[in-house]
Structure 1
Amino acid sequence: MSAIARPSGRVPDALRPLSFTRGYTRHAEGSVLVAMGDTRVLCT
């Protein structure tokens, strides 16, 4: 079965790049920014 690439070039079963940025905010005891594609989640 051949995989059809998406406009971004990813194959259907490939995940978007995932990144974690520790210490994202200065005033929180601990924080991390999680990014996957255009989605961002800030955890404090």
Structure 2
Amino acid sequence: MNRIDGREFNELRPIKITRNFNKFAEGSVLIEMG
């Protein structure tokens, strides 16, 4: 079975990590998957 996005069955979706996402919360991180 093929996936629409071309990923293999054992591949993760793309991940993006944005540091200091919230300027009022020290060490805040936004993690986006998919």
Structure 2 residue runs of 5 or longer lacking an equivalent are none
Structure 1 residue runs of 5 or longer lacking an equivalent are 38-44
Total equivalences in the alignment: 34
Counterpart of 2:10 in structure 1 is 13
User: Deviation of residue 22 (structure 1)?
Assistant: 0.2
Larger Cα-atom Rg: 1
Question: What is the TM-score with the length of structure 2 in the denominator?
Answer: 0.73
Post-superposition, which runs of at least 4 consecutive aligned residues in structure 1 deviate over 3 A?
A: none
Larger fraction in strand: 1
Greater length-normalized contact order (CA 8 Å, ≥ 6 residues apart): 2
